[in-house]
C-alpha cells in the first residue's frame, strides 16, 4: 500500500516566531494522533471482515457443515495474526535488505528502532505497531479467501497447515515485492490496496486447492451441475454487508493517513464500484439464469469491491462505475466457466477474488495515464505464478503425505457431527 497524500505540514510556519513554532508542534502531534486513530479504526473494520467471510461461507455452505466452516473462519485470523507477528511482517517489510526477486528478512518478530513509535515513522502518519496490526489483518484475509472455496471436504488439519505456510511465508514474500519496496515497486507496478497482492493471491491459492481436492460428491453428475442449497440466505446477506462495511477500512486505511481529501475519494470509488458490481451481477444473472439471482447480486457486490481495490485512489469516481459493472458481469461468467470445468468453488471465491482481482489490477492500466497496462499485466502474471505454484505444491505434498480430503462417509453425513460433535442449527422442542 502506498501513501497518496502528503501529511499536513507547513515548512513556512517552521521558520516563524517561537509562538508559531509551538503551534505547529501541537498541530503535528494532533495530526499524528488523528492519523493513528483513523488507522486503528480501519484496522478494526478490516478485522470485522472476518465475521463477514464467516457469514458468507456459512450461509452459502450446507447446513451439515456449518460448524466446520465457522471453526475454520475462527482459527484463520488467529493463525494469520500470530504467524504474521512471528515471521510475516519482517518478511514483508524488511529494513535490512531491499527485497529483490526473492526477499529480505529482519528476523523473528517485528523489529523496532528508535522513532518507530513517534512521528518519524511512516512519514509521520502513525506508529509501527499500528502498521503491523493493520497489515496483519490483510494477511489473514488472504487465507480466508481460500477457506470458502475448499469448504465441505477438506481435512481441518490440512487447511490449518496450509494457512500457516501460506500466511507465514507465501503471502508476505509476494507482498514484499510491491509493498516492501521490492522489484515490482521498482518496475512501477501499481496495486493500491491489494486487488492482486491480497485478493488474487488468495484466489490463486483457492484455485490450486479446488484443483487438488476435487469437487464435492454429487456436485457434477452426467454433465449437470447439482445445486447444494446453502444453510442460510439471510446469514450470507449479512456477511456481504459486513464485508462491504469492512472495505471502507480495507481501502480507506490504505491511504496510510487521515488525509480528508484522499480518504474521501477512496471511499467514494470503493462504494460506487460495489453498487455497480451488484448491478452487473443482477443483470447478468437474470440474462443467464432467467431468475432474480440473489447470490449473483451478492457476489457482484464483492466483485466490484475487489476490482476497485487496486486503483481506488487513482481511478476517478466516474470510471469506478464501469470498473465495478464489468466486475459484476465477469463474476457470473467466471462462475459458469468454473462449473463447466468441474471446478467446485463453494462460495465463488475464485470468481470474486481471482477473476475480479486480475481485472481490477489491469483496470489501473486502462483507466489511468500514469500506469502502463503491460506493466500491470506483468505484475499480475508474476504474482499469480508464484501464488498458484506455491499453493499447489503445498496442497499436493500434503495430499501425498497424509491426504487432504475427509472420508466419503464424513462428507456425505456432514463434517459437523463427525469432527465437532455439534450441529450449527439445533432446534429443541419442549415436551
| C-alpha to C-alpha distance for 129 and 117, rounded to whole angstroms | 7
> What CATH code is assigned to 27-111+126-420?
1.10.3430.10
Angle ∠(261,265,270) on CA atoms, nearest 5: 150
CB 345 within 8 A of CB 149: yes
- Phi first, then psi, for residue 220 (nearest 5°) are -125, 115
What's the pLDDT at 420? 84
What's the pLDDT at 15? 31
Q: What is the pTM of this model?
A: 0.88
244: left (phi over 0), alpha (psi -120 to 50) or beta: alpha
| C-alpha to C-alpha distance for 79 and 278, rounded to whole angstroms | 32
227: DSSP letter: P
| C-alpha to C-alpha distance for 23 and 370, rounded to whole angstroms | 38
421: DSSP letter: S
CB neighbour class for 405 (10 Å; exposed up to 12, middle 13-18, buried from 19): middle
Cell digits for 314?
487513482
Among all chains, which residue has been given the C-alpha cell 477512496?
A: 266
| C-alpha to C-alpha distance for 354 and 57, rounded to whole angstroms | 17
Rg (alpha carbons) of the chain, rounded to whole number:
22
Angle ∠(415,298,316) on CA atoms, nearest 5: 135
Among all chains, which residue has been given the C-alpha cell 497447515?
A: 161
DSSP-derived 3-state class of residue 230:
coil
**Within 13 Å and on the Cβ side, how many CA atoms surround 101?**
2
Ordered mean pLDDT values, 10 residues apiece, the chain (431 residues): 40 32 49 89 96 95 92 94 92 70 65 63 77 91 90 93 94 92 91 95 96 92 86 95 97 92 96 98 96 95 98 96 98 95 94 97 95 96 97 96 90 84 69 45
CA 85 → CA 90, 116, 240, distances in Å? Answer: 8, 16, 28
- Phi first, then psi, for residue 96 (nearest 5°) are -75, -30
Listed as own residue / partner, the contacts of 103-111 with beta carbons closer than 8 Å and 24 or more positions apart are 103/172, 103/173, 103/176, 103/177, 103/180, 103/182, 104/176, 104/180, 109/85, 110/85
What's the pLDDT at 82? 94
| C-alpha to C-alpha distance for 23 and 27, rounded to whole angstroms | 6
DSSP-derived 3-state class of residue 121:
coil
Structural domain boundaries in the chain: 27-111+126-420
Question: Pick from 246, 275, 251, 276: which is nearest to 263 by CA?
Answer: 251
List b or e across 384-401, with b for residues whose CB sees 16 or more CB atoms inside 10 angstroms: bebbbebbbebbeebeee
Amino acid at each position: 500500500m502506498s501513501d497518496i497524500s502528503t501529511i499536513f505540514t507547513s515548512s513556512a510556519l517552521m521558520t516563524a516566531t517561537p509562538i508559531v513554532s509551538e503551534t505547529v508542534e501541537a498541530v503535528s502531534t494532533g495530526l499524528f494522533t488523528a492519523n493513528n486513530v483513523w488507522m486503528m479504526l480501519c484496522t478494526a473494520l478490516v478485522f470485522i471482515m472476518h465475521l463477514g467471510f464467516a457469514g458468507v461461507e456459512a450461509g452459502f455452505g450446507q447446513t451439515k457443515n456449518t460448524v466446520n466452516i465457522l471453526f475454520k473462519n475462527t482459527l484463520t485470523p488467529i493463525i494469520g495474526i500470530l504467524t504474521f507477528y512471528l515471521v510475516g511482517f519482517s518478511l514483508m517489510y524488511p529494513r535490512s535488505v531491499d527485497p529483490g526477486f526473492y526477499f529480505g528478512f529482519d528476523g523473528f518478530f517485528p523489529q523496532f528502532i528508535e522513532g518507530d513509535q513517534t512521528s518519524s515513522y511512516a512519514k509521520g502518519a502513525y506508529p509501527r505497531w499500528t502498521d503491523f496490526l493493520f497489515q496483519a489483518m490483510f494477511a489473514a484475509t488472504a487465507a480466508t479467501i481460500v477457506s470458502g472455496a475448499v469448504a465441505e471436504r477438506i481435512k481441518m488439519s490440512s487447511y490449518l497447515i496450509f494457512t500457516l505456510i501460506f500466511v507465514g511465508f507465501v503471502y508476505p514474500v509476494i507482498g514484499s515485492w510491491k509493498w516492501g519496496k521490492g522489484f515490482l515497486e521498482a518496475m512501477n507496478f501499481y496495486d493500491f490496496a491489494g486487488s492482486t497482492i491480497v485478493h488474487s493471491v488468495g484466489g490463486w491459492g483457492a484455485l490450486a486447492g479446488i484443483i487438488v481436492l476435487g469437487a464435492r460428491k454429487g456436485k457434477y453428475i452426467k454433465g449437470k451441475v447439482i445445486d447444494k442449497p446453502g444453510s442460510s440466505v439471510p446469514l450470507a446477506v449479512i456477511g456481504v454487508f459486513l464485508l462491504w462495511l469492512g472495505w471502507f477500512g480495507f481501502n480507506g486505511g490504505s491511504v496510510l493517513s487521515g488525509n480528508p481529501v484522499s480518504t474521501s475519494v477512496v471511499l467514494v470509488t470503493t462504494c460506487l464500484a460495489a453498487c455497480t458490481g451488484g448491478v452487473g451481477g443482477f443483470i447478468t444473472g437474470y440474462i443467464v439464469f432467467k431468475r432474480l439471482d440473489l447470490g449473483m447480486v451478492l457476489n457482484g457486490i464483492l466483485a466490484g469491491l475487489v476490482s476497485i481495490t487496486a486503483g481506488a485512489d487513482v481511478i476517478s469516481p466516474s470510471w469506478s462505475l464501469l470498473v465495478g459493472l464489468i466486475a459484476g458481469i465477469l463474476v457470473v461468467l467466471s462462475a459458469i466457466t468454473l462449473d463447466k470445468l468441474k471446478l467446485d468453488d463453494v462460495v465463488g471465491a475464485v470468481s470474486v477474488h481471482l477473476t475480479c482481482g486480475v481485472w481490477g489490477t489491469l483496470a489501473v492500466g486502462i483507466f489511468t495515464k500514469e500506469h502502463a497496462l503491460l506493466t500491470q499485466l506483468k505484475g499480475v502474471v508474476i504474482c499469480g505464478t508464484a501464488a498458484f505454484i506455491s499453493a499447489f505444491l503445498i496442497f499436493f505434498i500434503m495430499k501425498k503425505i497424509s491426504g487432504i480430503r475427509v472420508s466419503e462417509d464424513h462428507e456425505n453425513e456432514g463434517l459437523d457431527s463427525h469432527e465437532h460433535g455439534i450441529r450449527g442449527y439445533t432446534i429443541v422442542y419442549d415436551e
